[in-house]
Amino acid sequence: MTKLSEEKPAKMCYEHIGGKLGQLLAVTFAEKGWIAKKDPADKHFYITSLGEKEFSKLGLDISQIKSEKT
């Protein structure tokens, strides 16, 4: 069992994972090509075709994510 002092935080910010864990997930998913930006200056990512396949393998139902019209 993990001691309380050794537990790592998984912070929630509104309805998403924030903090260092959220940052690490975003960087890792981008490095794997699961998410990308249309332009490096963009603030937001989109889920790539590869990401759709890989997130599905993890059991994530990305059909729950609404498309954003730009």
Per-residue pLDDT of the chain (70 residues; tens, 9 = 90+): 555 568 887 888 788 888 899 999 999 999 999 999 999 999 899 999 999 999 999 999 999 987 876 5
Write down the pLDDT at residue 36.
96
For the whole model, what pTM was predicted? 0.78
C-alpha 66/C-alpha 37 separation (Å) is: 17
Does residue 56 contact residue 64 with C-beta atoms inside 8 Å? no
